[in-house]
Amino acid sequence: MQRFSSTLRGHIALQAINAREIAPNDIVALTVGQIHGGNAGNVIPDTAFLSGTIRTYSNENREFIKQRVVEIAQGVAATFRATARVDYARGCPSVLNDVNLVKQVFRSAGELLGGDRVVDLTDLMGGAFARFPVSEDFAFISEKVPSVMVVLSAGSPQEGYQYPQHHPKAAFNEDTLYIGAALYADTALEWLKANTR
């Protein structure tokens, strides 16, 4: 029971990183999405584990949080005479939207779909320097070439799709997929028109 107890206490202790160790104007997410220990209610497990994700907008914060997770995990485990090991999978950097490409895509999407069907997320998220807290492997592309990430709405609560994308009951309106395909094709064509002679 000590190892599982230390796992739960470790989860609680990790939340202090965001609450107490990151500047209030920096947006970070440290989410523990899995806690597992043992496979029977009447058997004390010899191991337990947490699994989660770290999301930041800066490499400095990301590296700081990774270091603190190791220190906290090992400290809490030692308190309960256990040991902790922290393994990191390669995470995604931040998606970087190219300002000029955003303007071009917003304009061409409005022409293709109608202006009332295109929303500028920077307006919703707080202005020109808005940040959208998603983790997306598209970020590796945005590090190499000018890019823009587009979010396609696939159902609203009014249409019966009340759960967000990471909810276990999430469902999506697949009738919108053709809109995304058309937008991708149109964006490529419009970019070629604007950037080739």
Residues 121-138 have a mean pLDDT of: 66
Is 69 in contact with 17 (CB distance < 8 Å)? yes
What are the start and end residues of each CATH 3.30.70.360 domain in the chain?
Answer: 2-79
Render pLDDT for 165-192 as a digit per residue (tens, 0 to 9): 888 999 999 999 999 999 999 999 998 9
pLDDT at 45: 86
Render pLDDT for 137-159 as a digit per residue (tens, 0 to 9): 888 888 899 888 888 888 888 99
Q: Which of 196, 175, 176, 178 is nearest to 186 (CA)?
A: 178
Model confidence at 89: pLDDT above 80: yes
DSSP 98-152: -HHHHHHHHHHHHHHH-GGG---HHHHHTSTT-------TTHHHHTTS-------
Render pLDDT for 19-69 as a digit per residue (tens, 0 to 9): 888 888 888 888 888 988 888 888 888 888 889 988 888 888 989 999 999
CATH (one of 3.30.70.360, 3.40.50.620, 3.40.50.1980, 3.50.30.20) for 2-79: 3.30.70.360
- For the CA atoms of 153, 157, 162, 164, the dihedral, rounded to the nearest 10 degrees, stands at 30
